[in-house]
Structure 1
Amino acid sequence: MPALDLSQSPRRWPALAALTLSVLIVGLDGTVINVALPTIAGDLHTDSAQLQWISGGYLLALSVAMLPVGLLGDRYGHRRLLLSGIAVFGAASLVGSLADSPTAVIAARAVLGLGAAAILPLSMAILPRVFSKDEQPRAIAVWTAATALGMPVGPVVGGWLLNHFWWGSVFLFNVPVAVVALAAGLWLLPRDAERTSAAPPFDTLGALLGGLGITALVYGTILISEDGWTAPSVLASLSAAAALLAGFVVRERRFPHPLVDFALFGDRRFRWGTLIAVFVNFAVMGILFVVPQYLQSVLGNDAFGTGIRVLPLIGGLMLSAALSEFLLPRLGVRLVVTTGLLVLAAGVLFGATTGAADGYGFAAGWLGLTGLGFGLAVVPATSLVLGTLPDHGTGSGTSLLETIQQLGSALGVAGLGSLLSYGYLARLHTGRLPTSEADAARDSVSDADALAGQLHDAGLAVNAHASFVHGMSLVLLVCGVIALLGAGLAAAFLPRHAGAPGAGQVSGTVAEPAESIA
């Protein structure tokens, strides 16, 4: 089959739309369930442990399956496995909408996580096969915006659906979107090359060690919110994770056909580009963790209004896409990424000065600045990483990148959540309340707000809002410091240009000559 230069094809942008639609529903599903949990608990008589697994089971399955799916995509076809992942995601959503027990909902969410594990890395792995090197920053920015947009918009969609339909609608909503994404992918995405030789043996022991290690790590982070960092269950889980993942690294270095090619870290573009991307995502996850709570509980917006008010972050990211395309050839990767991290740090540190009486205008300003820095940093860093991947290993490389980011985000949210709780409780005054009411106020700012309304206690509401803003400022301060540290590392270690010597680069057109568009 003759090679086709997709970088000149008008179908490359519709192909990007198909990819971004698939990652958008993954981002939506990661957060849409949160607003449905109280309704599910009431309708299915679900206890707190089951609710935790409805939320955490998805994250566990996503994290565990992401590493091996990249290698499987490299061997059996990125397009083939991506479309399979979308189909699994749609089917699990349909089953979840019909579930009539907590166990069925947990199972559906776990299968959704498996589908998402195929969608995220493999959709990224296809980008270098569709776009030229010059257009990759714009495509990566759109792809990144879709993944980021899903997180704040998920509660908006969930809130609207629950206001009009039953709780299963938050699952059913995914089905038509998955069908459209599947049809678009079949029509627009480049076909996989036919295999010409037998696949080498699969590293079953490595997959087992990596899967169990990631499971222990993610499970430990899930327990932190309930038990605290020093609980025996948390320490045991994190210790087991460290031992299993150390064994995984040793295994991968010795096995002739590993799941993960750790030699990629020998290229400083991959090594530092991946680390910078983790730093950026850590900071942005901190923002997306605290800002929706601030907009809803302190400024009094509903779920829909909260999602709309997070959009300046996405607007800044999209603006940075055009700027990156213009700046990268002129200034180089090192300067653009360093500048982006400094802008990100400036936006977050402005946010850390937020006062309880400040309105949305101030938040919109620093969110837009943060989004601009986010895009200027993460888009070139991701392009840099993609440029180091060999033609035959893009799936494994993007799976490794996504897995590291996913685990960093999980640990980051756990740590930042603890810091937010510490800052909130440090300023909250509940001494004059009965024990049960004081405990309710200490659980969260939204509970304190509801209690203040019941008691007609304006002072409690004011104190709770100020306490939450204090905790949010601590979180944003840490995010700002992380961004500044990332800027220092970028300035010191990133190459000036993406083409610096290192591992082989992916072609700017079609990675495999036998591939064509479907």
Structure 2
Amino acid sequence: MNTDSTRRWLALGALAVAMLTIGLDVTVLTVALPTLAVDLHANTAALQWFSSAYTLALAAMMLPAGALGDRYGRKKFLLAALLLFGVASLACAFATSAGQLVAARVVLGIAAAAMMPLSMAVLPSLFPEPAARQRALTIWITSTAIGLPLGPIVGGWLLRNFWWGSVFLINVPMVIIGALAVLALVPESRSAQRFRVDVAGVVLSALGMLGLTYGFIRFGEYGWGNGLAWVAVAAGVLLLGAFVLWQRRTAHPLVDLGLFQSTGFRWGTALSIVVNFAMFGMFFTVPQYFQAVLGVDALGSGLRLLPLIGGLIIGSRVVDKALPKLGTRAMLAIGFALLAGALALGALTTVDSGYGYTALWTTVLGAGMGLAMPTAMGLAMGELTAERSGSGSALIQALRQAGGTIGVAVLGTVLATQYRSELGTLNRDPISDGVNAGVSVAHQLGDSAMLHQVQTAFVGGMAAMLWVCAALCAAAAVLAAVLIRAPRAAVGEQQERLDDAPHVGQGADASESTHVS
């Protein structure tokens, strides 16, 4: 392996560490909330904002961050985002009030909004060969996904041994490693066209994503009858509609909507959103099942997700070897079939199933994710030229983020509705608020019959939600098998796109399209 090749794989390793940090940060907070409530005197609303502030900032700033990276330099903005993420992590760790922590989480979300698309956008310049780029994308995606189940494990261990600020402080050394590696190893790249930043598009997209995301977060918390949530969603939809119209008219759009004319981008992005549904469905229910039904603590819950990581690693290794031989169509169909089968097995879980059964289907689920997620993302990324890889990557990530937020609200409603339906005569406050409240009441009363009914009702709600996810994945498997074309030619087509694309630092006509249909 020559020096240049070694340098770029080391750079990928640093990017993977940075993305692992983001994955950890998404879930590590969940185990710290009870401690934060006491130490920062945070009420329920403040606890919700600790998570929502990050999500809203992430959703609002992702599209602008990708476009700014294209315009002014992806390495420059990625490096700044890494440093900002580290500073914000320090601010979170040493916050002395709920308000300070919320503000620091907003800054953390802004930094992550730039890190996610721009770390993906530099991959084409680091790995111009399609096979190497797909392998790099698989590693990048896997590092993010592994961070999610690792969050409760790392957070639980840190809280058991240190103070709550350590769950944020752990980000700092990882960010420093990533920043130094990006500075030394990642080449600068930017669009050859010195286009103006679409300020109107930035404002419309940020406000639209903010309204849509906030509305669905409120739906998840307060139910579908919440008036403010409907107002926020309606405003978000109108603003995003105005954004789309503006993008069609302006000479320098924030994103290239013509990408959706490409089958690869359209289906790759759509299938990536479906994978997110399956992933969020699992993360929304299984940790609750471990704690409320199996009776383990947060750390024990995180440790019981290790089979998912094992399956994910196996799937990502298999896709690396099998994708060039079997093609995109086959890998997507197999990956989504595994996801559908695993979720169906999960939906058959009972109160008495035990951990072994859950370990089995979460392992299969991880393998399906490892096959489907990198393949779908590679399909979408294959349509991006070097010119607008930042804004294109941001568009993919923003749609995945929006889809995940909406999915949590919808799937949470399915679970809650079925849970309350199966409670029967126990469908009353506070038991109806959720399984954790129900289990707490049953333990306080020492009522084993009530405990069994609450647990059974939750498992019924979990089953209903997982059946929805399984049906979506089964449909995705069929659509992938039928609609994805030229499964074995995907790598060759990606090479042609790369050869035709304007290379970093070269001139390009202002009217040149940023995608290949």
Q: Point out the more displaced range, 379-388 or 180-189.
A: 180-189
- Aligned to 1:144, what secondary structure does the other structure show? helix
- Aligned to 2:374, what secondary structure does the other structure show? helix
Pick closer, same or farther for the CA change 1:361–1:492 going to 2, 3 Å.
same
Of 20, 24, 28, which aligns to 1:28?
24
Contact 1:128 1:508 in 2 (8 A): no
Of 324, 349, 367, which aligns to 2:362?
367
Residue 388 of structure 1 corresponds to which residue in structure 2?
Answer: 383
Cα deviation for residue 186 of structure 1 reads 1.9
- Aligned to 1:213, what secondary structure does the other structure show? helix
Kindly indicate whether residue 242 of structure 2 is the aligned counterpart of residue 252 of structure 1: no
Residue 480 of structure 1 corresponds to which residue in structure 2?
Answer: 470
Listed one character per residue, the Cα deviations across residues 350-383 of structure 1 (whole Å, up to 9, x for unaligned) are 1111111001111111111111122222211111
Kindly indicate whether residue 437 of structure 2 is the aligned counterpart of residue 440 of structure 1: no
Listed one character per residue, the Cα deviations across residues 315-359 of structure 1 (whole Å, up to 9, x for unaligned) are 222222232233222222112211211111111111111111001
Residue 112 of structure 2 corresponds to which residue in structure 1?
Answer: 116
Number of aligned residues: 503
Cα deviation for residue 499 of structure 1 reads 5.2
**Higher RCO by CA contacts (8 Å cutoff, separation 6 or greater):** 1
Of 209, 230, 233, which aligns to 2:204?
209
Kindly indicate whether residue 212 of structure 2 is the aligned counterpart of residue 223 of structure 1: no
- Aligned to 1:406, what secondary structure does the other structure show? helix
Residue 490 of structure 1 corresponds to which residue in structure 2?
Answer: 480
Kindly indicate whether residue 373 of structure 2 is the aligned counterpart of residue 378 of structure 1: yes
Kindly indicate whether residue 159 of structure 2 is the aligned counterpart of residue 162 of structure 1: yes
Of 117, 130, 136, which aligns to 2:133?
136
Cα deviation for residue 282 of structure 1 reads 1.3
Residue identity matched to 1:91: V
Residue identity matched to 2:353: D
Pick closer, same or farther for the CA change 1:5–1:82 going to 2, 3 Å.
farther
Residue identity matched to 2:111: G
- Aligned to 2:430, what secondary structure does the other structure show? helix
Superposition RMSD in Å = 2.4
Contact 1:269 1:502 in 2 (8 A): no
Listed one character per residue, the Cα deviations across residues 373-395 of structure 1 (whole Å, up to 9, x for unaligned) are 22222211111111111111111
- Aligned to 2:498, what secondary structure does the other structure show? coil
Looking at structure 1, the residues matched to 192 and 66 of structure 2 have their Cα atoms a distance apart, in angstroms, of 19
Contact 2:122 2:189 in 1 (8 A): no
1:298-313 correspondence runs (5 A)? 298-313=293-308
Residue identity matched to 2:464: L
- Aligned to 2:108, what secondary structure does the other structure show? helix
Of 482, 487, 504, which aligns to 1:512?
504
Q: TM-score, normalised by structure 2?
A: 0.92
Of 281, 284, 288, which aligns to 1:286?
281
Of 45, 65, 71, which aligns to 1:69?
65
Contact 2:152 2:298 in 1 (8 A): yes
Looking at structure 2, the residues matched to 335 and 97 of structure 1 have their Cα atoms a distance apart, in angstroms, of 46
Contact 1:335 1:496 in 2 (8 A): no
Contact 2:345 2:361 in 1 (8 A): yes
Looking at structure 2, the residues matched to 103 and 203 of structure 1 have their Cα atoms a distance apart, in angstroms, of 32
Listed one character per residue, the Cα deviations across residues 413-461 of structure 1 (whole Å, up to 9, x for unaligned) are 1111111111211112454xxx9xx522222222222222222111122
Residue identity matched to 2:468: V
Pick closer, same or farther for the CA change 1:51–1:200 going to 2, 3 Å.
same
1:457-472 correspondence runs (5 A)? 457-472=447-462
Kindly indicate whether residue 102 of structure 2 is the aligned counterpart of residue 102 of structure 1: no
Residue identity matched to 1:127: L
Contact 1:5 1:510 in 2 (8 A): no
Residue identity matched to 1:237: A
Residue identity matched to 1:206: G
Looking at structure 2, the residues matched to 510 and 183 of structure 1 have their Cα atoms a distance apart, in angstroms, of 29
Residue 346 of structure 2 corresponds to which residue in structure 1?
Answer: 351
Looking at structure 2, the residues matched to 510 and 207 of structure 1 have their Cα atoms a distance apart, in angstroms, of 25
Pick closer, same or farther for the CA change 1:153–1:160 going to 2, 3 Å.
same
Q: Point out the more displaced range, 331-340 or 155-164.
A: 155-164
Looking at structure 1, the residues matched to 364 and 134 of structure 2 have their Cα atoms a distance apart, in angstroms, of 19
Of 34, 38, 62, which aligns to 1:38?
34
- Aligned to 2:131, what secondary structure does the other structure show? coil
Cα deviation for residue 242 of structure 1 reads 1.1
Looking at structure 2, the residues matched to 36 and 111 of structure 1 have their Cα atoms a distance apart, in angstroms, of 19
Looking at structure 2, the residues matched to 337 and 214 of structure 1 have their Cα atoms a distance apart, in angstroms, of 29
Pick closer, same or farther for the CA change 1:385–1:219 going to 2, 3 Å.
same
Pick closer, same or farther for the CA change 1:136–1:192 going to 2, 3 Å.
closer
Looking at structure 1, the residues matched to 452 and 501 of structure 2 have their Cα atoms a distance apart, in angstroms, of 58
Looking at structure 2, the residues matched to 503 and 269 of structure 1 have their Cα atoms a distance apart, in angstroms, of 14
Kindly indicate whether residue 396 of structure 2 is the aligned counterpart of residue 401 of structure 1: yes
Residue identity matched to 2:131: D
Q: Point out the more displaced range, 160-169 or 87-96.
A: 160-169
Of 145, 160, 180, which aligns to 1:148?
145
Cα deviation for residue 189 of structure 1 reads 2.0
Contact 2:124 2:386 in 1 (8 A): no
Looking at structure 2, the residues matched to 334 and 170 of structure 1 have their Cα atoms a distance apart, in angstroms, of 40
Looking at structure 1, the residues matched to 74 and 287 of structure 2 have their Cα atoms a distance apart, in angstroms, of 35
Residue 515 of structure 2 corresponds to which residue in structure 1?
Answer: none
Cα deviation for residue 492 of structure 1 reads 2.5
Cα deviation for residue 500 of structure 1 reads 7.8
Pick closer, same or farther for the CA change 1:508–1:291 going to 2, 3 Å.
farther
Structure 2 residues not aligned, in runs of 5+: 507-517
Cα deviation for residue 266 of structure 1 reads 1.2
Kindly indicate whether residue 461 of structure 2 is the aligned counterpart of residue 449 of structure 1: no
Contact 1:428 1:463 in 2 (8 A): yes
Q: Point out the more displaced range, 74-83 or 52-61.
A: 74-83
Looking at structure 2, the residues matched to 183 and 225 of structure 1 have their Cα atoms a distance apart, in angstroms, of 39
